[in-house]
Structure 1
Amino acid sequence: MKAKKTTGLLVVVLVVIALIVASVVSYNGIISKEAEVESQWANVESKLQRRYDLVPNLVNAVKGSMAHEEKVLTSITEARTKMAGAKSVKDVSTANTAMEGALSQLLVVMENYPELKSNENVKTLMTQLEGSENRISVERDRYNTAVKEYNVTIKKFPKSIFAKMAGFDQKVFFEADKEAESAPVVDLEN
């Protein structure tokens, strides 16, 4: 009888220990995935900041030659202001779409100014901007991959139980704004 009690107690203790170990492993796994998402977001923000810093130099380089294209330059300035004020992933995504649209307009307008395309400062800035855009794209993809892995982790059983208990919520993907589906329109007649 005593042996049955001891065996039963031992089984209960082993089950409790297994649950504790599973909880710790699950929690630590989720924390690691969350840290990866945060790290990737920081990478996205650093690349967006690089572009954000390049834009005023580009605008200043072309401003003198494009004085009558004030609308395009204004849209770039407004987009840059949106980027500066964006805090959440959704806000940054929306501001990023505005910035991409404004820069696209600038590129279209620059086609009408051959002297700008041959200007060394403008060429250098455009090359740097192109590099920034590529880096942003890569980091955005890496961020979205990290978000997907994190979201899957907190949804899979048994980690989903621990995720809910610990208050882990899904992360938001960096997605293009709905406006990004249509190309920007540049009116060179006005």
Structure 2
Amino acid sequence: MELIIIGVLVLLVIFGVAQYNRLIRLNITVDEAFAQIEVQLKRRADLIPNLVETVKGYAKHEQGTFDAVVAARAKSTSASTVADVAAADGALTNALRGLLAVAEAYPDLKASSNFLSLQEELSTTENKVSFARQFYNDNVRSLNTAVKTVPTNFFAGFAKVTARDFYEVENAADRNVPNVKF
């Protein structure tokens, strides 16, 4: 009888350790996924100065648009929480739409190989940002499900793991990828 009790206790400890480790792994995966969003947003932010300078060469009188893009880029590089990053990401997307709308009015710019290269790079980066957002939200869903369901919810406090926020764009207009077709 004593051996059975010891065996059950050992199984309970093993089960508890497995649940604890699962929560820690899920939490680390969410952190990693958020870091990937930041990497892709940084990549996009690094493209913007070149894009702005290229467009500036053709559209010198559009200073307000350029200033909006630069300000949005500055906000996007300084945001740190999920909500702040998502808000800055949305603002930058809107500013880029304005910049690309300006570019639409300049046929010489649309034919520029430098601009076309930057446009392609931006389009590729937008796809990577979209994938990184989805990957993050998938991992947040898995973590939140584990934190809120039995039996792992009993171990969440002990593991100091809590539900995380999803990456959500601010408004419906931000949900669209910028139109970079020229």
Determine if the TM-score, normalized by the shorter chain, exceeds 0.5. Answer: yes
Which residue of the other structure, out of 152, 165, 175, is the alignment partner of 1:159?
152
Shift of 1:181: 5.6
Shift of 1:28: 0.8
Q: Report the counterpart of residue 162 of structure 2 in structure 1.
A: 169
1:73-125 deviation digits (Å, cap 9, x = unpaired):
11100100101110111110000000100011111121111111111111111
DSSP 3-state at the match of 2:58:
coil
Instruction: Give the whole-Å Cα distance in 1 for the aligned partners of 2:123 and 2:167.
Output: 20
Q: 1:92 aligned to 2:85?
A: yes
Write the letter of the residue equivalent to 1:118. Answer: A
CA contact (8 A) 2:37 2:133 kept: yes
Q: Report the counterpart of residue 99 of structure 2 in structure 1.
A: 106
CA contact (8 A) 2:90 2:174 kept: no
Could you tell me which runs of 5 or more consecutive residues in structure 2 were left unpaired when the two chains were aligned. Answer: 177-182
Instruction: Give the whole-Å Cα distance in 1 for the aligned partners of 2:110 and 2:149.
Output: 53
Aligned residues: 176
1:40-96 deviation digits (Å, cap 9, x = unpaired):
112111111110100000001111221111111111001001011101111100000
Q: 1:12 aligned to 2:23?
A: no
5 Å-filtered alignment, 1:17-28, equals 17-28=10-21
Instruction: Give the whole-Å Cα distance in 1 for the aligned partners of 2:109 and 2:145.
Output: 48
TM-score for both structures, normalised by structure 1: 0.87
Could you tell me which runs of 5 or more consecutive residues in structure 1 were left unpaired when the two chains were aligned. Answer: 1-6, 184-190
CA contact (8 A) 2:94 2:174 kept: no
Instruction: Give the whole-Å Cα distance in 1 for the aligned partners of 2:48 and 2:147.
Output: 39
Instruction: Give the whole-Å Cα distance in 2 for the aligned partners of 1:47 and 1:17.
Output: 45
Write the letter of the residue equivalent to 2:150. Answer: F
Runs (4+) of structure 1 exceeding 6 A deviation are none
DSSP 3-state at the match of 1:64:
helix
CA contact (8 A) 1:97 1:179 kept: no
Shift of 1:32: 1.2
Write the letter of the residue equivalent to 2:45. Answer: Y
Instruction: Give the whole-Å Cα distance in 1 for the aligned partners of 2:75 and 2:160.
Output: 31
Write the letter of the residue equivalent to 1:50. Answer: R
171-180 or 30-39: bigger deviation: 171-180
Q: 1:54 aligned to 2:47?
A: yes
Q: Report the counterpart of residue 32 of structure 1 in structure 2.
A: 25
CA contact (8 A) 2:23 2:143 kept: yes
Which of the two has higher C-alpha Rg?
Answer: 1
5 Å-filtered alignment, 1:63-142, equals 63-142=56-135
RMSD across aligned positions (CA): 1.6
